[in-house]
């Protein structure tokens, strides 16, 4: 996994691309290089070496015919199978998935995308045709940000990289307003900044003669609809095999691989599936975070799960006094609002893994969305936040002139079934896009790669397409996953309810970090978006004990830090 960047247009030059690469060098500390045609195109790459550690696999990667130049971020997990399919026509000089991607594109064009099982964001320059092609994986695991003013096209793996190239930092009022009002993080192509866009997951773009075109290549809705009336003879066995295959593919690496662990069903199932792999388990390490608060920490569950297993456990502690410094560091790294103290605690895992030389970590992200694990799937609410009973949004603190432009965020409903539409919303608009962004940044901040086996597209499509009683049965959520997990896990873990809160964010923000919170929010009183008096009243209420939700407090802290 790496960082990619580039410029097409008059501003394409060595100085600009080197500045961009320097800004995101944490994404690829192993090697940095660029390709440059002055004032026409420049492509840059920060390499984190995972597969084929030799210099032969460095990027930008030039095709054998010398016509194509590739910069690639991510992993093509099924590269060995694709290589076997291509090797009768192409001579491979490396053992990398990068070269497989290049030759797959030369062979199949945009059709190569449907053959890839992986997480990826890449760009290819076709010199003869002066054609630029870029694509992003199905769920948008790997990022692709761009700016285009009809003269120059800039792209990068992180927003701050674009700012370093001189792209203006102008707030997108619409996205910020909806964030404060209903918790939306924007549509798949939007960011929190004007004129800085995302290439949506499952889409590709082409740029030729200053004409930019964006097309969808992953048609999830159609694929799921075709599966709806298709049933495997033994579904439990079929899905178990899909899970095992997904884990197996994500253990492909030429560097140490570890995994993240909590006390819940998802990560415990991940652990059980790792147990089934034919690998040297004594070299695989586990990581978990704690805050030393028994109301939230899951260490007792984690230790129970690892009992009589060979994996070394690394316990990564977050202390409240660390939060102010880390919060600002991660805010600058994310360049957009992120998920609070749980994300900060999560970042400690990647820092520890990096220090230990573990470059790849597996995680249980994505299970709840496909298998219907959130509480609001049962109570049929339209919430986008798990475990709340009151609204976390305080629109009364917004200036009237700002708030009058609010328009509720609506999400597509391509299915007749309400549950499927909620799951679809979370997969493509709310939960997964923002979690993937949080996770990409905090992992890459420390030069580590995160892989999410539960987001394997074949697995997600099949599970998503199953009837409701496959996912929720007799009030039990993620029913089939629990049934599969029973083969491998202790019953008390399989039956454990989902625990939505993992850190004492409310307690820390209202007590331990009270002075810091007040000083950060003071900054917003000079922001025209807010009503100073209402902002202070809500903050006082929070400090006095009205802290069932701390989401709004974190929103304000995050906003203040992003405008510093």
> Binding site membership: which residues?
97
Contacts of 355 (CB under 8 A, 6+ apart): none
Residue count (the chain): 564
> 111 — phi, psi (to 5°)?
-65, -15
Coil, strand or helix at 334: helix
Report the distance separating Cα 104 and Cα 83, nearest Å: 9
d(CA 495, CA 486): 9
Distance (Å, rounded) from C-alpha 529 to C-alpha 541?
A: 20
Note if 2 is an active site residue: yes
Would you say 372 and 266 are in contact if contact means Cβ atoms under 8 Å apart? Answer: no
533-541's contacts with Cβ under 8 Å and 24+ in sequence apart are 534/396, 534/397, 535/397, 538/394, 538/396, 538/397
Dist CA 268 CA 341 (whole Å): 23
- If you compute the radius of gyration of the chain from its CA atoms, what whole number of angstroms results? 23
d(CA 258, CA 251): 9
The active-site residue out of 2, 65, 112, 316 is: 2
DSSP letters for 417-486: SHHHHHHHHHHHTSHHHHHHHHHHHHHHTTT-EEE-GGG-HHHHHHHHTS-HHHHEETTEESHHHHHHHT
Contact 122, 135 (CB under 8 A): yes
Non-local (6+) Cβ contacts of 440 within 8 A are 141, 142, 143, 450
Which residues partner with 37 through β-bridges? 41
Q: Which residue numbers belong to the known binding site for L-glutamine? A: 97
> Which residues are the active-site residues?
2
């Amino acid at each position: 996994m790496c960082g990619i960047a580039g410029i097409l247009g008059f501003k394409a030059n060595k100085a600009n691309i080197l500045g961009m690469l320097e800004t995101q060098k944490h994404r690829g500390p192993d090697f940095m290089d660029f390709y440059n045609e002055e004032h026409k195109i420049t492509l840059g790459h920060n390499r984190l070496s995972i597969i084929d550690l030799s210099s032969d696999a460095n990027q930008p990667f030039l095709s054998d015919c010398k016509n194509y130049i590739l910069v690639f971020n991510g992993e093509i997990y099924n590269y060995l199978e694709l290589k076997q399919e291509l090797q009768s026509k192409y001579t491979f000089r490396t053992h990398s998935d990068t070269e497989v991607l290049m030759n797959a594109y030369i062979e199949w064009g945009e059709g190569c995308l449907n053959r890839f099982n992986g997480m990826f964001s890449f760009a290819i320059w076709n010199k003869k045709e002066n054609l630029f092609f870029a694509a992003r994986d199905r769920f948008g695991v790997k990022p692709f940000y761009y700016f285009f003013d009809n003269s120059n096209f800039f792209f990068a793996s992180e927003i701050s990289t674009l700012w370093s190239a001189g792209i203006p930092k102008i707030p997108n009022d619409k996205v910020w307003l909806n964030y404060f009002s209903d918790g939306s993080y924007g549509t798949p192509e939007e960011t929190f900044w004007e004129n800085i866009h995302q290439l949506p997951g499952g889409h590709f773009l082409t740029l030729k003669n200053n004409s930019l075109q964006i097309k969808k290549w992953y048609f999830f809705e159609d694929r799921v609809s075709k599966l709806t009336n298709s049933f495997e003879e033994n579904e439990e066995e079929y899905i178990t095999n899909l899970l095992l295959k997904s884990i197996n593919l994500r253990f492909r690496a030429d560097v140490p691989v570890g995994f993240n662990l909590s006390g819940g069903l998802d990560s415990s199932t991940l652990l059980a599936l790792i147990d089934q792999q034919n690998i040297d388990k004594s070299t695989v390490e586990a990581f978990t975070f704690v805050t030393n608060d028994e109301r939230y920490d899951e260490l007792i569950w984690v230790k129970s799960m690892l009992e009589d297993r060979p994996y070394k456990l690394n316990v990564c502690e977050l202390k409240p006094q660390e939060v102010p410094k880390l919060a600002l560091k991660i805010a600058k790294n994310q360049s957009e609002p992120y998920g609070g103290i749980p994300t900060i605690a999560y970042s400690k895992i990647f820092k520890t893994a990096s220090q230990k030389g573990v470059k790849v970590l597996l995680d249980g992200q994505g299970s709840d969305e496909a298998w219907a694990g959130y509480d609001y799937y049962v109570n049929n609410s339209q919430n986008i936040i798990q475990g709340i009973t009151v609204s976390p949004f305080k629109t009364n603190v917004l200036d009237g002139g700002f708030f009058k432009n609010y328009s509720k965020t609506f999400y597509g409903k391509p299915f007749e079934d309400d549950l499927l539409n909620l799951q679809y919303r979370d997969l493509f608009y709310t939960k997964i896009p923002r979690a993937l962004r949080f996770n990409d940044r905090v992992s890459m901040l420390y030069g580590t790669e995160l892989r999410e086996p539960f987001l394997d597209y074949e697995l997600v499509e099949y599970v998503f397409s199953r009837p409701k009683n496959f996912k929720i049965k007799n009030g039990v959520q993620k029913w089939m996953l629990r049934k599969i997990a029973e083969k491998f896990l202790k019953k008390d873990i399989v039956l454990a309810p989902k625990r939505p809160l993992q850190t004492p964010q409310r307690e820390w923000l209202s007590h331990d970090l009270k002075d810091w919170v007040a000083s950060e929010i003071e900054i917003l009183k000079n922001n025209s978006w807010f009503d100073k008096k209402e902002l202070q009243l809500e903050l006082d209420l929070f400090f006095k004990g009205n802290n069932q939700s701390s989401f709004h407090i974190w929103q304000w802290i995050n906003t203040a830090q992003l405008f510093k």
